[in-house]
Copies of this chain bind each other. A is one copy, B any other.
Amino acid sequence: MIDAAPDLVDRARQGDPRAVARLISLVEDASPALREVMAALVPHAGRAAVLGVTGSPGVGKSTVTSALVAAFRAAGRRVGVLAVDPSSPFSGGALLGDRVRMQEHATDPGVYIRSMATRGHLGGLAWATPQALRVLDAAGCGIVLIETVGVGQSEVDVAALADTTLVLLAPGMGDGIQAAKAGILEVGDVFVVNKSDRDGADQVVRDLRGAIRLAERAPGDWRPPIVKTVAVHREGLDDVVSAVDKHRVWMERGGELDRRRRRRVRDEIEAIAVTALRRRFGDLHGDARLDTLAEKVLAGQFDPYAAADEIIAAL
């Protein structure tokens, strides 16, 4: 490390974008310095509202995110955007193809935008994202948007990291079915029907209403609102911000915000513990030991549970 951790943390708290970038790189690299960094950040975190932004490719996720950033900025809030790429096993860096749409905010000191690749990681999304969120939170971002690059499982997982999850759909994509498949209908706190000036938008809204009606809810449970936007023309974004704020008020009133945040930290602690244990498998045995066990299983001499027992016993 070029910079000492406490100094970096101080500079990040003052909003120095280079210090923030450096700290998130430490997360990306699973640096040993993170332990010290997180201990220094923890007292200064917990203020940011964390919004997950999910949806199939083509619904306009980046355009909506960018327009939301503008709406939050107009309200004077500092905004962080974390684009997480858990899907690229070999590139070793987050893909930035879509990020061009975010460039309008590139020179705004009140906006911090960062892509992060987590796929190389032992612990993946669950390990890295909460730590990167904590960096942005401590750096004074009152709102942090998490957007995943890629689709599917990570879109669902991001909901476990967010206070409020926005699920985006658009007409003409067969999205009703796709969204249901990926399980993202169940995780939506606010539904955004983007490109709502196109044919079929009302049908998407009707389908969503039906799906929301079908979901079992107790009295007092949150009923996800549906907001129509044309993000490319900046239409409807204030309604999205208003729905997000309402959801936050509901969460604070019923204790749901505390529950979600506790769950997030529990998952983070568990991911750190599991990652540390998996590293020990490697440290103890080296690759050769696990290879030898795998060979025995392949040869039919050993079953995988007995092999796992050997690994655990040696810890």
Given contacts A274-B274, A291-B266, A152 and B297 within 8 Å (CB-CB): no
Interchain CA distance A276-B313 in the complex, whole Å: 12
Interface of A is mostly: helix
Which interface class (under 10, 10 to 19, 20 to 34, 35 or more) fits A? Answer: 35 or more
CB neighbours of A274 from chain B (8 A): 274, 277-278
CB neighbours of A303 from chain B (8 A): 35, 38-39, 42
- Whether B305 lies near A38 (C-beta < 8 A) is yes
CB neighbours of A178 from chain B (8 A): 57, 151
A126-152 interface code vs B (CB 8 A; 1 in, 0 out): 000011000000000000000001111
Which of B45, B183, B268, B308 is close to A119, meaning CB atoms less than 8 Å apart?
B183
Interface residues in A155-172 (C-beta closer than 8 Å to B) = 155-156
- Whether B281 lies near A273 (C-beta < 8 A) is yes
Task: Give the residue name and chain of the B residue nearest to A184 (CB).
Answer: B87
CB neighbours of A301 from chain B (8 A): 42
> Is A251 part of the contact surface with B, judged by Cβ < 8 Å?
no
Segment at the B interface, from A88-96, A194-202, A242-250: A88-96
Interchain CA distance A35-B268 in the complex, whole Å: 29
5 further A-B contacts with Cβ under 8 Å, apart from A57-B174, A87-B183, A273-B281, are: A45-B300, A58-B174, A86-B153, A87-B182, A269-B293
Give A residues with C-beta under 8 Å from B: 34-35, 38-39, 42-46, 56-58, 86-91, 95, 97, 119, 130-131, 149-156, 174, 177-178, 180-183, 186-187, 261-263, 265-266, 268-270, 272-274, 276-278, 281, 290-291, 293-295, 297-298, 300-308, 311-312, 315
